[in-house]
């Protein structure tokens, strides 16, 4: 709330189950007031597809019973209550954190990298070999850029951790002598580095939503479970898998896997393999340069993304969902 002027108050709910339910969602809601003027539910709360996940289902059932509306019950992204779409929400970070980030990055153009999202399955994200291919090409195309790595390895505090090992982070840092290691730094410090950066680069991750909330362009190496859904008025690009031999996105169904990728770093999902990274490396580098140089316009990014996403889903528009259903203007 301290950094989000558009939020008046929050209530922490110590329940983080998604698939298998762990803990009691009713007890987790005990500090949340029961009576509200309006109750706005997540669209997933009424989605039979999402109901397959026991942890989510139990939470939505418990919260539906817990929160009582005096005036209306609605769905996020549309009325009721009165709703104005396409607002551009911005986090306001402390100026001293911004100044410290600029100083740490040497006042140079920077790219902040999150090498893996929060899943515990390492195979869902690119290997160290693949990341070095990507970073080498970006360093060649943007020789003045410094890289910074963000994420979380320490357990505890109710926060998720990055699906990568400390030894792998160290290997990436060793290949970039001037790179900045921000792993396990306070989240506001990491966000300040993202805000200072010219680009945020990652596979699909919720932290990308935070990146666009500090107005930093997001370049996503897409493919796996979910496509990108939230853009917040900020230029972006999703590098979608070109191959149609395996699904680009499975939405929590079993992922096509390689038992052993050619780099010798173990199993990998097909959409994050070395072969896939090599196939899409030119596009990734081209769009990185365009985003860093400020040549990508938000509306043009949307207009390019959604037709390509329809193609990635083999023409099935019904599988596309976005915050505020912004995709409906483009498909």
HEC letters along 243-298: CCCCCCECCCCCCCEECCCCCCCCCEEHHHCHHHHHHHHHHHHHHHHHHHCCCCCH
Regarding the domain with residue range 95-329, which homologous superfamily does it belong to in the CATH classification? Glycogen Phosphorylase B; (3.40.50.2000)
Residues in a beta bridge with 202: 220
Q: What is the pLDDT of residue 18?
A: 78
Q: What is the pLDDT of residue 157?
A: 62
Distance set, CA 217 to CA 12, 66, 194, 233, 278 (Å): 29, 38, 9, 10, 23
* Phi, psi angles (nearest 5°) of residue 247: -60, 140
CB atoms under 10 Å from CB of 48, counted, come to 6
Q: What is the pLDDT of residue 135?
A: 98
Q: What is the pLDDT of residue 156?
A: 67
Question: What is the b/e burial string over 143-161, where b = at least 16 CB atoms within 10 angstroms of the residue's CB?
Answer: eebbbbbbbbeeeeeeebb
Q: What is the pLDDT of residue 158?
A: 59
With a cut of 50, list the residues of the chain below it in pLDDT. none
Confidence (pTM): 0.93
User: Domain coordinates of the chain in residue numbers?
Assistant: 1-83, 95-329
Q: What is the pLDDT of residue 113?
A: 98
For residue 63, the surrounding DSSP H or E stretch is helix 54-66
Express each pLDDT in 94-145 by its tens digit. 999 999 999 999 999 999 999 999 877 899 999 999 999 999 999 999 999 9
Express each pLDDT in 243-267 by its tens digit. 888 999 998 888 899 999 999 999 9
Cβ proximity of 261 and 127 under 8 Å:
yes
Mean pLDDT rounded to a whole number for the chain: 94
């Amino acid at each position: 709330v301290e950094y989000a002027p558009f939020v008046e108050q929050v209530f922490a709910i110590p329940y983080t189950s998604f698939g298998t339910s762990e803990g009691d969602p009713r007890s987790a809601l005990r500090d949340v007031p029961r009576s509200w003027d309006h109750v706005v539910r997540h669209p997933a709360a009424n989605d039979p597809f999402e109901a397959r996940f026991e942890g989510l289902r139990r939470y939505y059932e418990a919260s539906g019973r817990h929160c009582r509306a005096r005036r209306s019950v609605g769905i996020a992204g549309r009325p009721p209550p009165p709703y104005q779409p396409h607002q551009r929400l911005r986090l306001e970070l402390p100026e001293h954190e911004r100044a410290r980030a600029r100083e740490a990055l040497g006042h140079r153009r920077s790219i902040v990298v999150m090498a893996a999202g929060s899943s515990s399955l390492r195979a869902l994200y690119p290997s160290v070999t693949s990341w070095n291919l990507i970073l080498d090409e970006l360093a060649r195309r943007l020789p003045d850029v410094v890289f910074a790595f963000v994420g979380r390895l320490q357990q505890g505090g109710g926060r998720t951790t990055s699906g990568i090992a400390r030894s792998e982070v160290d290997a990436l840092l060793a290949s970039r002598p001037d790179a900045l290691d921000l792993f396990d730094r306070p989240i506001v410090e990491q966000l300040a580095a993202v805000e200072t950066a010219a680009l945020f680069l990652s596979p699909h991750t919720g932290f990308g939503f935070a990146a666009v909330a500090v107005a930093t362009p997001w370049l996503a190496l897409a493919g796996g479970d979910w496509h990108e859904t939230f853009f917040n008025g900020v230029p972006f690009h999703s590098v979608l898998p070109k191959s149609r031999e395996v699904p680009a996105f499975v939405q929590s169904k079993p992922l096509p896997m390689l038992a052993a990728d050619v780099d010798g770093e173990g199993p990998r999902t097909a959409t994050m393999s070395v072969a896939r990274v090599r196939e899409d490396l030119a596009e990734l580098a081209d769009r990185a340069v365009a985003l860093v140089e400020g040549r990508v316009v938000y509306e043009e990014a949307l207009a390019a993304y959604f037709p390509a996403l329809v193609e990635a889903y083999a023409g099935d528009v019904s599988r596309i969902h976005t915050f505020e259903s912004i995709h409906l203007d483009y498909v």
